[in-house]
């Protein structure tokens, strides 16, 4: 059995597949980046297992995370979402998803979401070399700067810890530990969506 990052439960196939196939691969697709930011926010205060198990439900409720479609949701559509058991029914988070979509559309006028987010690492993945999970930070100056900038643009649920988890998941930083079998190839390109891993203990 390959060695994986210590946050991956050895008997959880959902986590294993997510770690092996998604987490830490550089992500550049606008829709996928938007999805990831929203799912990061949905996780706030909850177990990541709860969100990962509901990812398909979120995609169904929020139109596949199309920024254009979600930005056009009216209040009736959001109220209907609040009654849908496939997602976490938190009013601020549900309404915040629409605000995030509208912020994504505004960003298109100045380069777009992908260019904006990757600017915090100079446009290429930051290669780290942590030997254990205990060394990995939960936030960095770059994540704090990203959080401030996203909030100024109108994004919701984008605190520094959420932003750093996003950076890890989207491959802006390589935080696979050096003993993990995915460490060497984490920089391979990916166009798939990848929500964040669980909070470090």
Please state the φ and ψ torsions of residue 34, each to the nearest 5 degrees.
Answer: -60, -45
Q: Any catalytic annotation for residue 23?
A: no
Q: Any catalytic annotation for residue 15?
A: no
pLDDT above 70 covers a percentage of the chain that reads 92
Residue of 7, 18, 23, 183 marked catalytic = 18
Residue with tokens 């959902």: 14
Tell me whether residue 71 is in a domain: yes
Q: Where are the beta strands (DSSP E) in the chain?
A: 126-127, 173-174
The length of the chain is: 201
pLDDT in tens, 2-33: 999 999 999 999 999 999 999 999 999 999 99
CATH of the domain at 134: 1.10.340.30
- The number of distinct structural domains making up the chain is 1
Residue of 7, 15, 23, 48 marked catalytic = 48
Expressed as residue numbers, the domain containing 83 is: 13-174
Residue of 22, 30, 35, 40 marked catalytic = 40
Query: Are 42 and 50 spatial neighbours (Cβ–Cβ below 8 Å)?
Result: no
Tell me whether residue 190 is in a domain: no
pLDDT in tens, 52-72: 999 999 999 999 999 999 999
Return d(Cα 76, Cα 46) in angstroms, integer.
26
Q: Any catalytic annotation for residue 48?
A: yes
> Average per-residue pLDDT in the chain?
92
Return d(Cα 167, Cα 97) in angstroms, integer.
19
């Amino acid at each position: 059995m390959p060695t994986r990052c210590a946050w991956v439960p050895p008997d959880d196939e959902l986590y294993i597949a997510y770690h092996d196939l998604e987490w830490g691969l550089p992500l550049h697709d606008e829709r996928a980046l938007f999805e990831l930011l929203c799912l990061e926010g949905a996780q706030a205060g909850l177990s990541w297992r709860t969100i990962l198990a509901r990812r398909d439900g979120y995609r169904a409720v929020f139109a596949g995370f199309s920024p254009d479609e979600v930005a056009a949701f009216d209040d009736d559509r959001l109220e209907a979402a609040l009654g849908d058991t496939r997602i976490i029914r938190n009013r601020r988070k549900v309404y915040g998803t629409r605000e995030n979509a509208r912020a994504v559309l505004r960003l298109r006028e100045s380069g777009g979401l992908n260019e904006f987010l990757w600017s915090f690492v100079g446009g290429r993945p930051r290669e780290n070399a942590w030997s254990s999970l205990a060394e990995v930070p939960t936030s960095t100056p770059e994540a704090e700067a990203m959080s401030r900038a996203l909030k100024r643009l109108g994004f919701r649920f984008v605190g520094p810890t959420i932003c750093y988890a996003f950076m890890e998941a989207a491959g802006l930083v390589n935080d696979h530990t050096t003993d993990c079998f995915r460490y060497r190839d984490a920089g391979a390109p990916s166009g798939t969506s990848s929500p964040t891993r669980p909070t470090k203990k």
